[in-house]
Structure 1
Amino acid sequence: MDAIKQDEELLAYSIYWIIKNGIQKGTDSASRINWNLVNHEEVKQMREQNELNLQVIKVYSAPLGNDQHIIVFAKDEKSAKGHIYKELNRLPNKLFDISSKVEKSFWFPDQQKTKSLRQLKEETLVFPATAMIFEKG
Structure 2
Amino acid sequence: MLEQTIKEQLADAIDYDAPLLAHAIYFALQEGIVQLDDPASSLPKNLDYDIVTKWRDENVLQLCTIKLFIIPMGQNRHALYLAKKEDDARAKHFKIYGQLAQRILDATHKMDVSLYCEATGRYRMIRELKRQTLVFPCYLGEVGR
Given the two structures, how large is their TM-score scaled by the length of structure 2?
0.81
Which of the residues 105, 125, 128 maps onto 1:119? 128
Q: Percent identity?
A: 32
- Quote the Cα distance in structure 2 between the aligned partners of 1:54 and 1:100: 14
Give matches, 1:1-137, under 5 Å: 1-37=11-47, 39-54=48-63, 56-136=65-145
Contact 2:111–2:126 at 8 Å: present in 1 too?
yes
Of residues 88-97 and 58-67 in structure 1, the stretch that sits farther from structure 2 once superposed is: 88-97
Q: 1:54-113, CA deviations, whole angstroms, 9 ceiling, x for partnerless residues? A: 352111111112221111111232332232233323222222221222111122222121
Contact 1:59–1:99 at 8 Å: present in 2 too?
yes
Residue 114 of structure 1, CA deviation: 1.2
- Quote the Cα distance in structure 2 between the aligned partners of 1:120 and 1:23: 36
Change (3 A) 1:94 1:4: same
Structure 2 runs not aligned, ≥5 long: 1-10
- Quote the Cα distance in structure 2 between the aligned partners of 1:17 and 1:25: 11
Contact 2:115–2:123 at 8 Å: present in 1 too?
yes
- Quote the Cα distance in structure 2 between the aligned partners of 1:78 and 1:135: 23
Task: Output the aligned Cα RMSD.
Answer: 1.9
Contact 2:19–2:64 at 8 Å: present in 1 too?
no
Of residues 42-51 and 120-129 in structure 1, the stretch that sits farther from structure 2 once superposed is: 42-51
Given the two structures, how large is their TM-score scaled by the length of structure 1?
0.85
Structure 1 runs not aligned, ≥5 long: none
- Quote the Cα distance in structure 2 between the aligned partners of 1:65 and 1:43: 40
Change (3 A) 1:43 1:74: same
Number of positions where the alignment pairs a residue of Structure 1 with one of Structure 2: 135
- Quote the Cα distance in structure 2 between the aligned partners of 1:8 and 1:78: 24
Contact 1:73–1:130 at 8 Å: present in 2 too?
yes
Contact 1:9–1:56 at 8 Å: present in 2 too?
no
Contact 2:17–2:64 at 8 Å: present in 1 too?
no
